Structure 1
């Protein structure tokens, strides 16, 4: 028709911030989750990306987990590319030198004689807790000055996990917990507030929240959440609905794989412990089976909440200093607490 043109609307993706150029926040020090425990069976060897470098994670035949720098000190082979576990040792794929759990050379490869050369693998401090394998990233301490406690209730279900690939930074992810304004605006919670002021205590930052959230088709759900951050690598949140005795435990574990790129492991465990008759007389086996069956559903609910943040995280910049408004939450206090996890000469980290 004359005077009309066919218009093709093309949606252009925004340029990823910091895709080229220096990111404004450096790599934090602390405990970082490399993988859920279920990802590593005895004998498994896995390569993980951590802060722009590879690390190799393996589980010995006795079940111990070790994390090492990836390259064999002999002639540089990558242990994650063909390396195998032999008993308690990891064996290089190139010349079959075997290294013990402490990184020492346990024995040489076939055809070699004499004493092993000096030096061994660099073993990184690691722990297995809360169904996850964690590594210590601090460069200023040979040993970790603090640890993540065991937090899951044994009566609840074993955690189920999913992983999100994000263009952001661990500090930005955890900032969303204190930023109650975005919870109302973006996630549709009708009421979210701090039950008490957050508390910074050394490497931990605790945030008690009350919330009312949509819960279709049952209307809305009122609950309370106790959130505790352990550095910038692990957050534990326990949400309670006291009326029915439901507890949902959520674990957030961001791993900085490259500057401004994070693999966020999300874990969920469910505990049903009814407080009143007749439900509190139900057999524990039934309650545990119900908790186990409800865990994947709750993981999907938690992930759905996080998916709302993903496009914002992927495209936002780090506002420093931010122009805060009443109702934002204590973002300034949170950023002040977060500064301790960066090297003193890191420059831009902070408010």
Structure 2
């Protein structure tokens, strides 16, 4: 398909896919830090609507430069504050009756009333803490509103002036985040989906809330084979990056956030050293990014229709799928996860 057709396909709905229950995707959402949007896309005094984790949300940047996020619906008469809401100081004003909310969801003023109902003088039960790192706004999701248990990890290349600005690609994936994450430990699929000549031999490390892997390989170029490598790290279920070395050094920040239980918003942010991306190696640098996106396209065809099998039949050569699932399960709160 052509370039424009491909871009449309990456974000278009998938017709005729099986319901959530039929695909065993009616699972809890995993808690952790998740990307909302680029920091540059939310100016001081700006308000925007979002929808993630089956929840309508509103996000704004106060006059102090800090980002705040709440459930979108005003506790008064249910107006969606992401549409027409206004920033006054550091608070958000509802567009309907100008109730003024702070970042915890406490109503601090009602301009036409001498009193504030006591129910809205208390913070909202579910909080959405935010953080800015790696040129992105991140938010903490926890179904019980529990405060963050760790911080977003900083990736230094994202703000290094010797590296390029992000080159961003976007998809809608109609599957679950866990199925997508499991792909990273599934060694066998690289040969049969992506056409790798051999099975990759990853070296995995498992931490308390993180997991990482590295792979060394021979990579073909017009000048012959060169030593190359791939290394990735995940912190919790929502923060992930990959470094590619060899032909052209490339950093991929994978910004992947659930919208619904069968719908994930995926954004790939690529950065490369300027001396490679803007020099004689520019063509190869672009080709690396194009190939990585092609592989994601190939995976998307499976993910859009994949069923989660809790008792999957795995065999030698599949990679540490059982270990991955045990590690990932710690980020579910519900006992039946």
Deviation at 1:63, TM superposition (A): 2.4
Alpha carbons 1:42, 1:59 under 8 Å: kept: yes
Specify the alignment match of 2:131 in structure 1: 127
Alpha carbons 2:28, 2:334 under 8 Å: kept: no
SS of 1:312's equivalent?
Answer: helix
Deviation at 1:62, TM superposition (A): 3.4
Mapping of residues 70-149 of structure 1, within 5 Å: 70-109=72-111, 112-118=112-118, 119=120, 122=124, 123-140=127-144, 142-149=146-153
SS of 1:341's equivalent?
Answer: coil
Question: Which of the residues 181, 205, 211 maps onto 1:205?
Answer: 211
Alpha carbons 1:267, 1:299 under 8 Å: kept: no
Q: Distance in 1 between matches of 2:223 and 2:63?
A: 49
Deviation at 1:108, TM superposition (A): 2.5
Deviation at 1:260, TM superposition (A): 1.6
Seen in structure 2, the aligned counterparts of structure 1 residues 289 and 106 have a Cα distance that, compared at 3 Å, is: farther
Q: Distance in 1 between matches of 2:195 and 2:82?
A: 44
Question: Which of the residues 157, 162, 168 maps onto 2:169?
Answer: 162
Alpha carbons 2:25, 2:176 under 8 Å: kept: no
Alpha carbons 1:14, 1:315 under 8 Å: kept: no
User: Deviation per CA, 1:136-169, whole angstroms, max 9, x where unpaired?
Assistant: 1123562111122111322322323222101111
Specify the alignment match of 1:7 in structure 2: none
SS of 1:183's equivalent?
Answer: helix
Seen in structure 2, the aligned counterparts of structure 1 residues 16 and 39 have a Cα distance that, compared at 3 Å, is: same
Alpha carbons 2:107, 2:116 under 8 Å: kept: yes
Task: Between 295-304 and 120-129, report the one with greater CA deviation.
Answer: 295-304
Cα RMSD (Å): 2.9
Seen in structure 2, the aligned counterparts of structure 1 residues 143 and 20 have a Cα distance that, compared at 3 Å, is: closer
Q: Distance in 2 between matches of 1:337 and 1:95?
A: 47
Question: Which of the residues 305, 324, 330 maps onto 1:315?
Answer: 305
Specify the alignment match of 1:340 in structure 2: 330
SS of 2:304's equivalent?
Answer: helix
Alpha carbons 1:67, 1:126 under 8 Å: kept: yes
Specify the alignment match of 1:10 in structure 2: none
Specify the alignment match of 1:305 in structure 2: 295
Deviation at 1:15, TM superposition (A): 4.3
Alpha carbons 2:25, 2:307 under 8 Å: kept: no
Specify the alignment match of 1:282 in structure 2: none
Instruction: Give the gaps of 5 or more residues in structure 1.
Output: 1-12, 273-285
Q: Distance in 2 between matches of 1:265 and 1:227?
A: 16
The TM-score normalised by the length of structure 2 is 0.83
Q: Distance in 2 between matches of 1:141 and 1:104?
A: 15
Q: Distance in 2 between matches of 1:59 and 1:14?
A: 37
